A and B are shown apart, each in its own frame.
Chain A
């Protein structure tokens, strides 16, 4: 049924993009709350959780080739319970996509377009991502690689310009408070890494399904190393105390770039690729949401769902959070505890039942 095909290296790039796109801005503030200068370890810990999710989901996926989580949960749990699991995922994905959108639109409205109403920003995002989703997953993954090249280039430029503002001593002492604060701080980060559960819906698209696991794991490793690098960078620039109090520490770090009094405030170098990567991320989760809904209703075509589902998601994102502060509070305190049971708990539950009932191909 699906003609669209994703290759292994496209999957790595896709996983990388949707893991780091929003996290780069918010993450350094969360992981320095308790762990202080050790915050850079937290993304690596969270990456491990992500790898566990991947292993669980791909084990399930390989047992039910060409099927998505929505379909095989019905086989494993029976019609009614299976439908219920599907419904949970539909609601979760609508909510998740709406959260991602409000992360991005509040960031835009509080940094670059301060006078523009957030409704207008959301509407623009809606139109262009709906266009991208209509064109299909294959197109999204292809552009992703192009954009990733630009993102990496921008990251290296920013890094090179920031080198003289960094102080490596701010990272010491390492592990002075033990491992517990790091584990505490890695909880909100696992929320981001748990988004990797989306590959449960991607597996039918991948040309070699048995490569899904290793490719996703590479994507996670790459993303967590990059994220931990970002955290370290921010700590080296601002110190742990200050970073934990900023809303967008990475952006602030880029803002202080002052290279020979001429290249100042290079945030534009950072923001355009960041915006592009995030549009890709919205597109991806928007696509997955539409796809999940179409699978749940057992529809052959999904293109007519794009606009109605988009309207629900985007209008929901407008009402989710009152302000920037509200959003950061939610992401820092509730997000990890809310998403992890769904992203990790349900797949593990499904896998256990499946191991007992042995419905799929072994």
Chain B
């Protein structure tokens, strides 16, 4: 069965990839500039942004040469100053005809990046990535001059993962900016950046980065092989890469974290993880991950120990509220009245007296309205967005209560849930929690506490059975890795975290010298 499908899938794909490159691979450059230029025009066809500049080199009677580049991807000043100007003026006196290209590259052109090539495929790839090509008459290879430069938005403040104290820079769409941000934080040759291109049309640059000697080589090998497996014509963003390489596609929660923050990404690779940088996406993929990382923020390390413990606990409680509060409310108020203290029961019942719906319907309607408002808030133009969403929610809530369509208790529960949902630092995990919440609500509306517990169990089993690149998703709690609990719900002081967490299978576990507690003499020795 499955073999049949595979065969069907594979055939057209291989055909198309071959036909894509066929004419390019077979044809070599010729000695004649004219032939080369006509070939070039044939390959490139109608392309407004491809420019050609013809030159005559001042050697003897003059040798024809031609420069090709893509407008918008190159630094025109550099081409003018360090390529065209020296080519037209500064030539050494004596020149043997056969090594003209070597002389040009060694002594004439004043540019940092320079290479030679004789393959049309390579040449066109480089040119469309922003390099400039120099053809010289009489030579069957060309010079590729690296003068890439294009506009980007630069390093800006992060938009989705703000912190109050701590670094504020964020990744941007340009790959080189991103590698720079990582490299600036780890100034060691042990930080490796493996380069690869994925997509036969988009030729997206992808960089796999890790710290050699810390990361488990098996993990890198696994990630590399999963990346190499991708055979597609287009990669538009890092999310496409994620769907190609993640462990279970149909899981309810993401198994890879996207982050905008360089410090978060760097901390991850220093603990033995791997990051993937994709050109054109201001997000970096962090893997492997564990579930609890959704709940931790870089800020936990910038604040006092106790504060960070309390904040992490608060986030954990909020996660629980966001997940269970409405369903718990439904279960208790429609099945188990006896479990509510009398005072509270009076309040709930008196608010619900005139409401015509059962609790389940009431809560689900309010939750749906809230989801609609939230979704609309994302789409609304920025100038009106916040005002309208706040006013919409307030007016709607107030009006619903006064029209006796919802009870005040329900509106409170729904509102608390919505706010608690936003304390989860990871946006995509927050989305998954919302899905879980609706399932829980339906189950507890049907079977009270039993349905609630049953679905809670199913969610736990689901999370527990997931793996992110071989790492159990709920580690270090399930399975229990006692040594890694030092940086879980409770965070120990930095000087006490002598060993790297073992969750990601880091090979070099010693991170720092023991006995670095302030006030102790290093190593416990007398000075």
* B332 in the interface (beta carbon within 8 A): yes
Chain B residues within 8 Å of A, Cβ to Cβ: 332, 335-336, 338-339, 341-343, 447-454, 456-458, 460-461, 464-465, 472, 474, 477-480
**Closest residue to A112 on the B side, CB-wise?**
B449
Known contacts being A113-B335, A142-B479, A268-B339, is A124 close to B450, with CB within 8 Å? yes
A-to-B contact residues, CB < 8 Å: 7, 9-10, 108, 112-113, 116, 120-121, 124-125, 127-128, 131-132, 135-136, 139-143, 145-147, 149, 261-265, 267-268, 271-272, 275-276, 279
Please determine whether A131 and B339 come into contact, CB atoms closer than 8 angstroms.
no
- The residues of B that contact A113 with a CB separation of less than 8 Å are 335, 447-450
Q: Say which residue of B332, B343, B461, B480 sits within 8 Å of A139 (CB atoms).
A: B461
Which residues from A are CB-within-8-Å of B472? Answer: 142
The interface residues of chain A, by DSSP majority, are classed as helix
B158 to chain A, nearest CB (A): 32
- Residues of A near B448 (CB, < 8 A) are 112-113, 116
Q: Shortest distance in angstroms between B470's beta carbon and chain A's nearest beta carbon?
A: 13
* Bound complex: CA A147 to CA B342 (Å): 30
Is the beta-carbon distance between A275 and B464 smaller than 8 angstroms? no
With A143-B478, A145-B478 as contacts: A265 and B464 at CB distance below 8 Å: no
**Knowing that A113-B450, A140-B461 are A-B contacts, what are 17 other residue pairs whose CB atoms are under 8 Å apart, sorted by A's residue number?**
A10-B479, A112-B336, A113-B447, A113-B449, A121-B447, A128-B458, A132-B457, A139-B464, A141-B479, A143-B464, A145-B477, A146-B477, A146-B478, A147-B460, A261-B341, A268-B339, A275-B449
Within the complex, what minimum Cβ distance (angstroms) separates A107 from chain B?
11
Contacts of A145 in B (CB 8 A): 477-480
Collect the chain A residues with CB atoms within 8 Å of residue B447's CB. Answer: 113, 116, 120-121, 124
Which chain A residues lie closer than 8 Å to B335 at the CB level? 112-113
Q: Which residue in B339, B453, B457, B479 is a CB contact (below 8 Å) of A265? A: B339
Q: CB-CB < 8 A to A276: which residues of B? A: 453, 456-457
Report Cα–Cα, A121/B447, bound state, in Å: 9
Cβ contacts under 8 Å, A141 to chain B: 479
Which of B341, B450, B456, B474 has the most chain A CB atoms inside 10 A of its CB? B450
Q: How far is the CA of A128 from the CA of B458 in the complex (A)?
A: 6
Given the complex of chains A and B, what is the CA–CA distance between A278 and B386 in angstroms? Answer: 47
Give the residues in chain B near A146, CB-CB below 8 Å. 460, 464, 474, 477-478
Which A residues are CB-close (under 8 A) to B453? 272, 275-276, 279
For residue A116, which residue of chain B has the nearest CB?
B447
Q: Are B343 and A268 in contact (CB under 8 A)?
A: no
- Chain B positions within 8 Å of A131 at CB level: 458, 461
**Could you list some 29 contacts between A and B, CB below 8 A?**
A10-B480, A112-B336, A112-B448, A112-B449, A112-B450, A113-B448, A120-B447, A121-B450, A124-B447, A124-B454, A128-B454, A128-B458, A128-B461, A131-B461, A132-B461, A139-B461, A140-B461, A142-B472, A142-B474, A143-B457, A143-B478, A145-B477, A145-B479, A147-B460, A263-B341, A265-B338, A268-B332, A272-B453, A276-B456
Report how far A112 CA is from B449 CA in the complex, Å. 8
Chain B nearest CB, measured from A306 CB (Å) = 13
| Chain A residues closer than 8 Å to B336, beta-carbon distance | 112, 268
- Residue among B336, B464, B474 with the highest chain A CB neighbour number at 10 A: B464
Separation of A268 and B464 alpha carbons in the complex (Å): 25
Bound-state CA distance A125–B455 (Å) is 11
